[in-house]
Structure 1
Amino acid sequence: MLPTDGLPEPKLLMLFEVLYRTGSVTRAAEQLGQSQPTISLWLGKLRQQLRDPLFVRTPGGMKPTPQAEALITPCREVLESLRRLVAWEVAFEPATAQRLFRLCLSDASHITLLPRILAHLREVAPGVRLEVARIDGNTEQALEIGEADLAIGFIPWLGGSLYQQLLFPQDWVCLVSARHSRLGERLTATAYAEEGHVLVSAGTGQKLLEAGLVKAGVQRRIVLELPGFLGVGAVVGSSDLIVTLPRHIGTTLAATYGLKVHECPVPIEGFAVRQHWHARYHQEAGNRWLRGVLLELFGHSR
């Protein structure tokens, strides 16, 4: 048996196995990628720890002592256990998995991302459940302690302990009713400033919108302010108001409510939608699988 107190380092056990197998210090050095003086130093430490010469030089090479003969089998068992430990990974099989994933999403993502995510998971992972939470000041802590698996959106304040991956870029569009009578095929900056607007206060990109309008010297005439995206499509479709939104939520609402999409005539800084996760779960199999799903569904505006 190998000694349980002060078990030799893995590199010394590897040396023991290679030297037993090859009977040559030179070949052991070649296989382990070390110099012969280093191998001799390691062998000296191994002999001291195991309290036996272990190998004796003979005309036919380094021959094992009876103690080495007794130790080779447990040594190989330890090395095999270490190899299995390094290669070990809990597999995630979506077709049979029974698991709850928690996502932190913006209000807009409830409309643009969540339906596609849910439809895909129901097809490929029917036993997986989803729980959705808001993005707020607790999001980073939720990712760290495992209360959330991923946060998806434009979340520039999240800290350096998190990984992130680009899903798609966003610019800005304007939505109007298809029956709007005063606008032509192209929305001009003058018409934009003259028309009434719906202001949606939700969304982390709103600060970029406000900053771009201030920089351009454009002041909107706000007729209606909403706290979220619920009702935006119906309001714009039944009025002569304009709403300025990130492209993904804008085109989604336009398709749902039959609205007309104009390029925003005011230069507004764009942003990127990313998925974020904590370093603790970077190699966790289920988290990796879910990140791959999101990249497949939405990566670079697929």
Structure 2
Amino acid sequence: MLDIKLLRLLDQLYSTRSVTRSAEALGQSQPTVSIWLARLRKELGDPLFVRSAEGMLPTPRTDALIATVREVLNGLQRLAQSGAAFDAATAQRRFAICMTDASHITLLPRLLAHVRALAPGVVLQAKRIDADLAQALQAGEADLALGFLPWLDTGFYQQTLYAQDWICLANAQHPRVIDATPAHWNLAVYQAEAHIGISAGTGYQLLDSTVAAQHLTRQIRLELPGFLGLSAILSTSDLIATLPRHIGETLARASGPNGLRVLPCPFEIQGFTVKQYWHARYHHDAASRWLRGVCAELFMESGSSPGNAGATSYLFDSAS
């Protein structure tokens, strides 16, 4: 019978294509992992992985085995966790949540207040969304991701929290929009004004592609990598920002009645949905289920059923 640690190694190697990264994920030294791989090859009578410029490539035997191996691992995980419960009131646990800086403003304050009230021993760690996001979720280095992340598909569950459309944000005392009406705030005025370009978040690809497709003009006078400082800049300038409604309205409310003004976007931009994402490996984990339930309760739009975070979630695989 194969040792369970050898099955975990096969799973990691198949995912990472790297002995080094697999060793890190398993908490073992690289020589130890190499010894384990030699045992696997001997017991299964196949090279299993071959070195290439792209990393450790699986052999056809490994491709045929991986689904069964993962089914066994998931079954063992469910068995081990079947009696495990998560007591939020007494738990001493760190949760790592990947999110954009917009979510630091719109979501994190509510989430932190809720968790502090219900689970005083829980630590929240906000992490960036980057190219390693999928691997971090799979390896358990991150528990959850919040945002618009359409590239997270195979092997990930996702649950819609709320929809986003687009608005414009300006100084409430802006000389040309202070009395804005449909007659005074339109596409021609929009194109004549100076703008702030913000490159944060996947949604901005939708804005940029719409501007390009409709041959619109945005006179960008300041480029920002995120939303840090945006309120202060808008409040002291005549620049316009085009951004998702949730972050725009949050900044406007925080600025007070004479701070920032929300304006309708004068052209149509494709909307998107903000979701929470987690890897299938942790779908049945009690602590993960608690965290997902909290996010659903706090952020899911009315009309949905947040009581069971799994009830409206979807697992994407290669056939989806």
Residue in 2 that maps onto 1:208: 206
Write the mapping of 1:148-227 to structure 2, written as runs, cut at 5 A: 148-183=142-177, 184-186=180-182, 187-227=185-225
Q: Which contiguous aligned blocks of 4+ residues in structure 1 show a shift greater than 6 angstroms? A: none
Write the mapping of 1:37-116 to structure 2, written as runs, cut at 5 A: 88-116=82-110
Q: After superposition, give the CA deviation of every residue in 1:107-147 in whole Å (9 maximum; x if it has no partner).
A: 11111111111010001111100111111110100110100
Structure 2: distance between partners of 1:289 and 1:105? 18
**Amino acid paired to 1:111:** I
Contact 1:104 1:133 in 2 (8 A): yes
Find the residue that maps to 2:137 and give its secondary structure: helix
Residue in 1 that maps onto 2:269: 268
Find the residue that maps to 1:204 and give its secondary structure: coil
Structure 2: distance between partners of 1:129 and 1:301? 28
Find the residue that maps to 2:252 and give its secondary structure: helix
Find the residue that maps to 1:197 and give its secondary structure: strand
Residue in 2 that maps onto 1:139: 133
Q: Once the 2 structures are TM-superposed, how far is the Cα of residue 266 of structure 1 from its aligned partner?
A: 1.2
Structure 1: distance between partners of 2:95 and 2:188? 47
State the aligned residue count: 218
Residue in 2 that maps onto 1:278: 279
Aligned match of 1:243 in 232, 241, 244?
241
Structure 1: distance between partners of 2:181 and 2:262? 10
**Amino acid paired to 1:226:** L
Contact 2:167 2:248 in 1 (8 A): yes
Structure 2: distance between partners of 1:272 and 1:301? 14
Structure 2: distance between partners of 1:86 and 1:240? 59
Structure 2: distance between partners of 1:89 and 1:270? 42
Contact 2:81 2:286 in 1 (8 A): no
Structure 2: distance between partners of 1:121 and 1:265? 39
**Amino acid paired to 1:194:** A
Find the residue that maps to 2:197 and give its secondary structure: strand
Question: TM (normalized to structure 1)?
Answer: 0.70
Q: Structure 2: which 5+ runs fail to align?
A: 1-78, 304-320
Q: Once the 2 structures are TM-superposed, how far is the Cα of residue 89 of structure 1 from its aligned partner?
A: 2.5
Find the residue that maps to 2:145 and give its secondary structure: strand
**Amino acid paired to 1:179:** Q
Residue in 2 that maps onto 1:232: 230
CA RMSD of aligned residues (A): 1.6
Structure 1: distance between partners of 2:260 and 2:145? 30
Contact 2:162 2:275 in 1 (8 A): yes
